[in-house]
Amino acid sequence: MRQHIDSVTLLIDKIKQSFGTNAPAILIGGAAFEQMNYVEMVTGADKYCKDYQDIEKNLKRI
């Protein structure tokens, strides 16, 4: 699944480059990240969500 993580990391980087300071909040999750530490740091995402409750909680903060 490493290729999925690399693809997500590249996509997040492109989004942040394109939007600059106006980039949307980026939430990620899924099986590819379950065994990974420091998901946000490695991928550049704003938040890693483990399940739908985590997504719901974080969407309320945005």
Tens digits of residue pLDDT in 3-22? 789 999 999 999 999 999 99
Task: Kindly report the average pLDDT of the chain as a whole number.
Answer: 93
Q: Is the pLDDT of residue 1 over 70?
A: no
Start-to-end Cα distance in the chain: 29
> What is the rounded average pLDDT of the residues 22-49?
94
Buried-exposed string 23-53: b where 16+ CB fall within 10 A, e elsewhere: eeebbbbeebbeeeeebeeebbbbbbbeeee
Q: Which residue has the higher pLDDT, 48 or 4?
A: 48
